[in-house]
A and B are shown apart, each in its own frame.
Chain A
Amino acid sequence: MFKSTKGVLKALAITALITMSAVVTCAQTTGSVTMNATVSNFVELTSGGAVTLTGNMGGSVITDGTANSPLAVVVNLGELGPANTNSFVKLDVPLRLRSNVAYQLDMVSSVAGAGATAFSLKDTDVGFGLTTAARPANLAAGVDTNATPGDPTVGGSTDVDGRWVFAGANSTLGAYAVSGAVLSGPRINKANAANAAPALTLPATFAIKPQFYDPAPAITITAQFTVVAL
């Protein structure tokens, strides 16, 4: 009887050892966390702030630019005929660009409602240009390539017919009846936080010389900018 009891106890002890051994063998001793992520190309165009309208007669800023907000400026340039004796009606629109990759800023424009004779205001009568400067230290190093000649009110002269001609290539909206590049460059931002990153700001300038254009009560000039990642 005693022998049989010892045998049972041995059997139980062996079973317990085997069970414990099995538990130890199954226990996990290492672990891993695998994460996937992406950094996409990022390009952004927003307003760089309030616009500046000068030389106007009866015009005004209807919807101003607000820094860091979507660009959706609306401006009444006023009188563009000879009653306006100013040298130019000029509009400066600050643009704000950010990117983590090389970028290209394109523009497409149109002029409507000005008439259809040779003496109507044309897209070539609307001067355009971007004014660039060296990037500040808080931006990624690089040089931006300006496809325009800059401020359109600089230079220019009358042609053989006496009509004003803006100087240089890509200096009027006539060059942008179809979408074309106005500015390009390498990545703009360093690895900054997205919500506080500095930006490349520059003015886009539109200028019109008041002339003896055909009378037109409602001229509409539209310029659409689009930034793309290269």
Chain B
Amino acid sequence: MPQQVIKLAVLAISLLLAAVTCLGQSTSGTVNMSATVSKFVELHSGGAVTLTGNSGGGVITDGVANSPLAVSINLGELGPVNTNNFVTAQVPLKLRSNAPYVLSMTATVTSSGTTTNRIQAADVGFGLGTVTRAGTGVHLTGTDTNATSGDPTLPANGSVNATSGRFEFTGVRSNLAAFTSSTTALNGAFIMNAVPRSNTNGLTVPAFFAIKPQFFENGTTTISVTFTVTAP
């Protein structure tokens, strides 16, 4: 009988020790991570500017592909001394996003002239050219909507006003007067697939600016254009 009691006591102590050991043993653990992918849109220069039809003038600060867009151009002479059909500046833009985007533009034209014959916003033709989605990592099947009429020098986009004789850019959103406040120029689907930012491909589109040399009031003119891309 005493031996049975001792055996029971030993068994109980063993079970108790085992239970204590099990309670103190950790065999699993967790690592919980949270993260965010925010909407991302980017506007950069698509490369060098092309200036044509100019008399004097030149590209002061050229565009550099994949660098911030900060182009400065002297368009030269815009009076009748310049016998070219148009003075045009073609500025390549490069867009990238992981979400649907909207490219807006706002423009100001200031002239030292004081009469209606001075260069005004409506005298500066504008349009976006062919939108190109190309390269590895670009969402090739995304669609884009160009709100402008394209190259403003196209015959369909402008002509001489029969009454005033002044050349007018007449296409939809074909001159800077349509952009005195921020206005959509282009929008579309997300541009980039899931690729690193170091991938330098994207959507490229040329922005055309054109001025018909005319008997404008003499003076100096400053044309300032700001593009902004957003992800609504």
Interface residues of B (CB under 8 A from A): 6-7, 10-11, 14, 18, 21, 25-40, 42, 96-99, 136-137, 139, 190, 192-197, 199, 201, 231
Contacts and interface: CB of A to CB of B under 8 A. Distances in A.
A81 B34 contact: no
Residue with the greatest number of chain B CB neighbours at <10 A, chosen from A70, A82, A85, A95: A82
B35 A77 contact: yes
B173 to A, nearest CB: 29
A209 B35 contact: no
Interface stretch (A31-39, A132-140, A181-189): A31-39
Given A81-B38, A216-B37, A221-B35, A37 B14 contact: yes
Contacts of B190: 119, 212, 214
A37 B18 CA distance: 10
Contacts of B33: 74-77, 91, 206, 220-223
A36 B36 contact: no
A80 B29 contact: no
A169 to B, nearest CB: 21
Interface in A184-230: 204, 206, 208-228
Contacts of A171: none
Contacts of B18: 38, 40
A43 B36 CA distance: 36
A83 interface: yes
29 contacts: A34-B7, A36-B14, A44-B27, A71-B26, A72-B29, A74-B32, A75-B32, A76-B33, A76-B35, A81-B37, A82-B192, A83-B38, A118-B193, A119-B98, A119-B193, A119-B194, A121-B194, A125-B194, A158-B136, A161-B193, A209-B196, A211-B195, A211-B196, A214-B37, A215-B39, A219-B37, A223-B33, A224-B29, A225-B29
Contacts of B193: 118-119, 161-163, 212
B88 to A, nearest CB: 33
Contacts of A93: 31
A208 B35 contact: yes
Given A76-B34, A81-B98, A209-B196, A225 B136 contact: no
A180 interface: no
Contacts of B35: 59, 76-80, 89, 121, 208, 219, 221
A226 B31 CA distance: 12
A226 B34 contact: no
Contacts of B97: 212
B14 A79 contact: no
Contacts of A34: 6-7, 10
Interface of A: 34-38, 40, 42-47, 58-59, 70-83, 85, 89, 91, 93, 95, 114, 118-121, 125, 158, 160-164, 204, 206, 208-228
Contacts of B96: 82, 212
B31 A204 contact: yes
Nearest to A63: B32
A212 B98 contact: yes
B137 A162 contact: yes
Contact of A73 (B25, B31, B37): B31
A206 B34 CA distance: 12
B196 A164 contact: yes
A76 to B, nearest CB: 5
B26 A218 contact: no
A120 to B, nearest CB: 7
B206 to A, nearest CB: 23
A125 B38 CA distance: 17
Contact of B27 (A76, A118, A222, A227): A227
Given A81-B37, A214-B98, 15 more contacts: A35-B10, A73-B29, A76-B33, A76-B34, A76-B35, A78-B36, A119-B193, A120-B194, A162-B196, A214-B37, A215-B40, A216-B36, A216-B37, A220-B33, A223-B30
B231 to A, nearest CB: 8
Contacts of A228: 27
Contacts of B40: 81-83, 212, 215
A44 B25 CA distance: 6
